[in-house]
Chain A
Amino acid sequence: MKKNWPLWEVFVRSKNGLEHRHFGSLHAADAEMALENARDVYTRRNEGVSIWVVESKYITASNPENNPEMFEPAKDKVYRHPTFYDLPDEIKHM
C-alpha cells in the first residue's frame, strides 16, 4: 500500500513586527520535515525569520457558496466605521 507524503501549508514571518503570511504549500512526511522543507524551499532568498507549518487537512475553510450569509451582512454596518459620525470641523484629530 503506497502512501504519499501529505500536503502542508507554509506561513512565513518576513521580519519581526510583521505577521506570518501564507507563502505556499509543500509535501513532507512529518512536521519536522515540513519545517525543514519550508526553510529550504521558501526562504532561500532570506525571506523569513520564522516559519509555521500546518498539515493542510487540519485547515477548516469557509465555503464560498455561503458567502452571502457569511460576509454580506457585514457590508451595511456603516456605524462601525469612523466616517459614520459627524463631528464639528474644529476637531481635527479623533
Chain B
Amino acid sequence: MSEEKIKDLENQFEERIARDDKIEPKDWMPEKYRKTHIRQISQHAHSEIVGMLPEGNWITRAPSLRRKVALLAKVQDEGGHGLYLYSAAETLGISRDEMIEQLHSGKAKYSSIFNYPSVTWADIGAIGWLVDGAAIINQVALCGTSFGPYARAMVRICKEESFHQRQGYEIMLTLANGTPEQKAMAQDALNRWWWPSLMMFGPRDEDSPNTALSMKWKLKRKTNDELRQQFIDQTVPQAELIDLKVPDPDLKWNEERGHYDFGPIDWDEFWQVVKGHGPCNRERMEARRSAWENGAWVREAAMAHADKKAKKSLNKAS
C-alpha cells in the first residue's frame, strides 16, 4: 500500500473514532492501534487471572459458609473476566497461548496491586472494596472505548462485577461493627491497601506519556489523575460511614475545588513493584507458571482424544 493510501485510511479511521463509530476486528486499523490494544487488553486479562491468587488464598479459610461461597464465586468471576478479555484480544490476531507465554516470560505486565499479600481475612474485604472499587471506575470508563470487542467485554464485566465491591464493603462493615479485634483487623487492612489502590490508576498525568493517544482512541475517557480523584472522593465517605480512618494525614475536603486534597503518593514504591520487587511478584508468577505447566498434559490429552474421536467418526462415515 502506498504511503498516501495509508495516510488516507488513517484519516478516515480517526474520523470514525471521533464520531464514536466502533472499530471491529476485521476493519482496517493502524498497526499502532492493534498493538496498543493487544497490549492493554492482554494486560487487563492477565490482571484478572493473577488477581485470582491473593483472594484465592482465603477460599479455604473463609470464616463462614456464606462468605466462602461468595468469595469462591467472586474469584471464579475474575477467571471468567480474564477469559472474556483474552477472547477480545484474540480477535486482533494473537492467540491466548501466546499471551500467556508473554505473561510467564515477564514480557507482559499485570496490575501491580496483586503483588501485595493478602495476610488477614480483612484483606479480602479491603480488596473487594478498594481494589474492585478502583477497577470499576476504570472499567466503567472503558465501556465506551472504541474497539468493539473490548467495549462489549467491559459491559459484561461491569454488569457481573457489581456484586464484587459490595461483597468487600460488607465484609469491612461487619468487621468495623464487630469486636475491637475485628475492627483493628479492618483498619490494618485499609492502612495497607489504601495507597496501593491509589496507585492502580497509574502514574500522574505528567508522567504518563501514552495518555494523549489513549484519550484519542477512547482507551481512556478520563486521565489517571481525574480517575484517582474520583475514587478518593467516592471512597472517603464510605470509610467514614463505617468509622475507619483513611491513612493519609493530609487528606482534607477542599471546598473550593469540590474535591478531597490528599497527600503525596510514594511513586518509588510503585516503580519498585512494577519492576518486580513487590512482596509477592515471584510467588504470583510461580503460581501461574506451575498451574500452566502442570496442566500441559491435560490440555494435550484432551486434544489427542478429540482427534481420535474425529478420526473415528470419519472412518464410520466413509
Contact = CB atoms under 8 A, between A and B. Distances in A.
B207 interface: no
B83 A26 contact: yes
A46 interface: no
Interface in A1-50: 2-5, 7, 24-27, 29-30, 33, 41, 44-45
Which bracket fits the contact residues of B?
Answer: 20 to 34
Given A30-B309, A63-B26, A64-B26, A24 B303 contact: no
Contact of A24 (B28, B76, B84): B84
Contact of B303 (A5, A7, A26, A63): A5
B299 A5 contact: yes
Nearest to B302: A29
Contacts of A86: none
B109 to A, nearest CB: 23
A7 B27 CA distance: 20
Nearest to B95: A4
A56 to B, nearest CB: 9
Contacts of A3: 300, 303
A24 to B, nearest CB: 6
A7 B84 contact: no
A24 B134 CA distance: 26
Contacts of A26: 83, 87
Contact of B97 (A4, A25, A44): A4
Contacts of A41: 80, 83
A16 B77 CA distance: 26
A44 B80 contact: yes
A13 B95 CA distance: 28
Given A45-B160, A64-B26, A65-B28, A29 B87 contact: no
Given A4-B95, A26-B87, A64 B305 contact: no
Contacts of A27: 96
A78 interface: no
Contacts of A63: 26
A61 interface: yes
Contacts of B97: 4
Interface string B77-115: 100100110010010000111000000000000000000
B20 interface: no
| 5 closest cross-chain pairs (CB), A and B | A29-B302, A30-B306, A29-B306, A25-B87, A64-B27
11 contacts: A2-B300, A4-B97, A4-B299, A25-B90, A29-B299, A29-B302, A29-B306, A30-B302, A30-B305, A33-B306, A41-B83
